[in-house]
Structure formats: C-alpha cells, structure tokens
Amino acid sequence: MLSAIISILLTSQESNALYIPQGKNADVSLIGTQEKILPYLAGSGPYFQYQADYGIPKTAPDGCQMTHVQLVGRHGERYPSKSLGKKLFNTWYKISNYTEASSNGSVSFLSEDYTFFIQDTNNLEKLTTPENILDPINPYTGEMDAKKHAREFLASYGDLMENCTTFPVFCTSSRRVHDTAQFFIDALGDDFNATLEIISEEPSAGANTIAALNSCPAWNESTYSNVTDSYSDDYLQGISSRLNNENKGLNLTSDDAYNLFSWCAFEINVRGYSDVCNVFTPEELVHFQYYDDLTSYYQMGPGYPLIQSVGANLLNASVKLLKESDTAQQKAWMSFTHDTDIVNYMTTIGLFDNGEQLDPSGVTFVNNIYHKSWMTPQGARLYTQKYQCSNESYVRYVLNDKVIPLMSCSDGPGFSCPINEFYDYAESRMNGTNFYNDCEVQQVSNNTELTFYWDYKNTTYNATLLDQ
C-alpha cells in the first residue's frame, strides 16, 4: 500500500505535475484495506496478480535468454460504462431518497456524509486519472496502473528494445484503451520513440482488429443464457431482504443487490475504497464471482464454440510474429484492448480449458480452473514469452504476473513449450476455424485479415476515439 502511494508521488514528479485535486474524502485509513476482495469483483475493480501461483519465476530460467515478447493488455481502472452507470444511478436514487429518513445496519454509512462516487456522468466509460477521481490519494487509478506497468515492463524486457528504440504500440479506438496505451508510452520515458497506432474497434474493421468480437455478427450474447440464467439468484434475494429488513420501506430488488457489487468494485477505482463492499458476506462474494465465471465461460469463453474462431484472429497473428522473430528487428510488441478480447484470445490458446463444462447448478470449486475474475481485472496483462536456452527456443504465457503453463505442453525449461511443439499446438487449437467465415464478417466488412502489425508503416491507423 505504502509503495503504491510512493509510486504516485514518484510518477507525478516524473511528469513534473503533482496535481492534487480538492476533495474532502481522503481517508487514508480505509484506502488499501480491501485488496482481499478484489478477486471476487468480476474484474471490475483494481488490478491484482493472478491468484494461483505455481511457483514458477516469470524471468527466463537460468542459462536462457529472452528473445521476444508480446504483450496484450487490458485498459486500466475505469469508471462504469454508460449502461451500467444508468443502473447504478437507479439503485443509488432508491437508497439516497430513502436515507433522507435514516438508515440502519450495513448501509448506515449512506445516511452520513456520503457522496455518490459518480459525480460527473462525462466520466462514464473513462479511465480513472488523478484529475477525475474523488480522492487525491487513491492509488488505484488507471493512469497510475499503466505507468507502473510500463516501468515493470522496462525492468523485465527493456534489454529487448536496445536496438529498436523506435517502435509502434497498438491500441483499439476505445478512448480508455487509447489512454492506457498513451500513459504506458509516457512512462517508458525519453529513451524511446513509441508511436501509437489506433486500430479501429468498429465492426467495419473486420479481421484487421484487436477487438474481433465486435466484428462478429454471428456471435449472440444470449445463445447460452438458458444455461447461465439457471444459476440461482438466492444470494441476491438474500442481500436485498437483509437490507430491506434492516431498513423498513427500503425496497431493494435482486437487480439492486446485483448492482451493489459493481458499485463496490468501481467505487474502489474512483475513491480507493468503498463502504458498499462491506455489505456482502464472504459466501455472497463467492456466488457473485462464480456467476461471473459462468457468464464469461458461456458468452465469450470455452463454453461457446464460436469463440475458438474469434480468438484465432489474434492468435494467428501472434504465431506469425513468433515465426518472424528470429530475423525481425523489433523484439517487443505491445497491444492494448478490452477484457473480452483477451478472454477470447486465451480461449483459443486453451489456457483455462480443461474440457470440463462449468456447472450452473452450483459453485464448482475443485474442478473449476476458469476464474474469469482473476483473468482480466482492470489492467490485466497477458505476455507471450519466447526465450532461448542452448540452441532451442521455447514459448510460454505469463498472465497477470504469473506463469501459466500450457496444460499439454510444458516440458521445456521454466515449464515452457518447445517452439516447434508450440507451433503444432497452436495450429491444432486453430484447426477448423476461420474467423471471417465463422463470424459472418462479410456482413460488416471486407477485411479478411489482420494486417496492422505488418502494414502500420504504410497505413495510417488513426481511428476516431469512441467512449465505449
């Protein structure tokens, strides 16, 4: 926690602008006390490291040398989306109108001097920055996260960039994704000339995108809602009845109870802590997390076979970069996008797919390796590492600071996959997929291939930024 505060001060000095907005809410004693619940917040709260540590250092093993790295990162901590914001305001209005009387029990903080964490609806969809948050010492802003990440990146992979100080960084045309990439670049410092290539995330981008699901008219969010809807919402009814009983006349519904989890998560991004988080019992947090795992699994993960084709768009490009890496001048590739796209990509890779369908009839503990909340918190980062040991090259993945070995290929040093076996593995994961055809992309675009990693010098990638 202290290190987080120090890094704020350091980074601010670095940019020579220690901007401390006015605010009455600085509560040093509460900030940083809620990190234990971050893994249960559906990835809506601040960044945290992947929760399973297999004990494998993420540096190249002894005697090996890192030769190539690819980063696919999520945007940093942010405000809620516009659609979620609307729901949160509705729940807030119910509670705020009620608490004019007086409130009791776990929402009693609301009758005190509480300010709703969304003060300006223009902030919806946006990254949190020292300028737009409620508490000047909140260490969890998306800006700070991106800058810290860049410094960690340099410490780990800076050597790879020594002969290539001018390079592109790729981002989607979502404003918060763009801003994350720009803050990342800023923090790399003056030793580098990184140019930001803004790749459209609109459907018309077709296959030439980092956000392939947007270009997939064949995808239907509701295809498996028959499965996800069958998950019991007793835990939500439990929350609303508890609060309603403590506060006669407060008529919260299950939907309101569901919204409180997002309120908790996003308020931490904005304020550094959230009293709303204290409303939940540990069991309720587990249910919320598992419901998020389920919806992700059946909407954009291994539970929906079409996703294999969606993620193949990026995996195919990644493999091509790996194959070219021995002769390419550029050894470090950085791209920024949304959580969905990273989840799709990991689905095709098969990082969290043991063939067991997630069970909607209750929380699966021991056999569940699909912890979506852990995979893509705000600021999530997936690295593809390639390193050389003797004369052999190996590939492995590092997600949110932890090495995640491939289930069927981890014989190499550091539990990596020998490169030729990796190519076979990747090919088998993409076998039978055709993103353009399977997704019926022709409905929205004639772009059949992802080309931006190769033609960015010849093409102007300056898509208009979108608040989405």
Ligand X SMILES: *[C@@H]1O[C@H](CO)[C@@H](O)[C@H](O)[C@H]1NC(C)=O
User: Which position's Cβ is nearest ligand X?
Assistant: 93
Active-site annotation holder among 179, 292, 293, 339: 339
Residue with tokens 């002769």: 327
> Per rule CB under 6 A, is residue 446 in the interface with ligand X?
yes
According to the binding rule CB under 6 A, does residue 388 interact with ligand X?
Answer: no
**Binding of ligand X by 410 (CB under 6 A):** no
Q: Which is nearer to ligand X, 33 or 357 (CB)?
A: 357
Give the Cα-Cα-Cα angle 316, 149, 135 (nearest 5 degrees): 130
User: Could you give phi then psi for residue 400, rounded to 5 degrees?
Assistant: 45, 50
| Least Cβ distance, residue 405 to ligand X (angstroms) | 21
* Nearest to 245, CA basis, from 110, 94, 105: 105
Site for ligand X, residues 296 to 315, rule: CB under 6 A = 312
Question: What is the DSSP pairing of strand 332-337 with strand 166-172?
Answer: parallel
CB of 123 to ligand X, least distance (A): 18
287 binds ligand X (CB under 6 A): no
Please choose, from the candidates 256, 269, 308, 253, the residue with its C-alpha nearest in 3D space to the C-alpha of residue 118. 269
Check residue 193 for interaction with ligand X (CB under 6 A).
yes
Q: Which of 3, 6, 52, 105 binds ligand X (CB under 6 A)?
A: 105
The yes or no reply on residue 121 touching ligand X (CB under 6 A) is: no
For ligand X, the closer CB: 49 or 96: 96
Q: Indicate if 179 belongs to the active site.
A: no
Question: Least distance in Å: CB of 98 to ligand X?
Answer: 5
Among 15, 226, 237, 408, binds ligand X (CB under 6 A): 226
Does residue number 160 form part of the binding site for ligand X (CB under 6 A)?
Answer: yes
Q: Is 325 in the site for ligand X (CB under 6 A)?
A: no
106 is a site residue for ligand X (CB under 6 A): no
Q: Which of 75, 149, 287, 371 is catalytic?
A: 75
Active site residue 339: yes
Short-list 164, 195, 172, CA closest to 335: 172
Distance between alpha carbon 108 and the CA centroid of its chain, in Å? 32
367: contact with ligand X by CB under 6 A? no
Say which amino acid occupies 359. D
Interface stretch with ligand X, choices 3-11, 70-78, 406-414, 449-457 (CB under 6 A): 449-457
48, 54, 55, 61 alpha-carbon torsion, rounded to 10°:
-100
Q: Which residue has the tokens 């009983």?
A: 245
Nearer to ligand X, 128 or 433 (CB): 433
Q: Which of 3, 15, 420, 462 forms a contact with ligand X (CB under 6 A)?
A: 462
Pick the binder of ligand X from 3, 51, 119, 166 (CB under 6 A).
Answer: 166
Confirm or reject binding of residue 239 to ligand X (CB under 6 A). Answer: no
Which one, 58 or 94, has the nearer CB to ligand X? 94
Q: Judged by CB under 6 A, how many residues of this single chain contact ligand X?
A: 47
- Of positions 104, 253, 364, 368, contacts ligand X by CB under 6 A: 104
- β-bridge pairing 64-74 and 332-337: parallel
State the nearest-atom distance from the C-beta of 41 to ligand X, in Å: 25
Site string for ligand X, 245-284 (x = CB under 6 A): xx-xx-x---------------------------------
Is residue 118 at the binding interface for ligand X, with CB under 6 A as the rule? Answer: no
Which residues have a catalytic role annotated? 75, 339
Binding site for ligand X (CB under 6 A): 93-94, 97-98, 104-105, 159-160, 162-163, 165-166, 191-193, 220, 222-224, 226-227, 245-246, 248-249, 251, 312, 316, 320, 331, 427-428, 430-433, 435, 444-446, 454-455, 457-458, 460, 462, 464
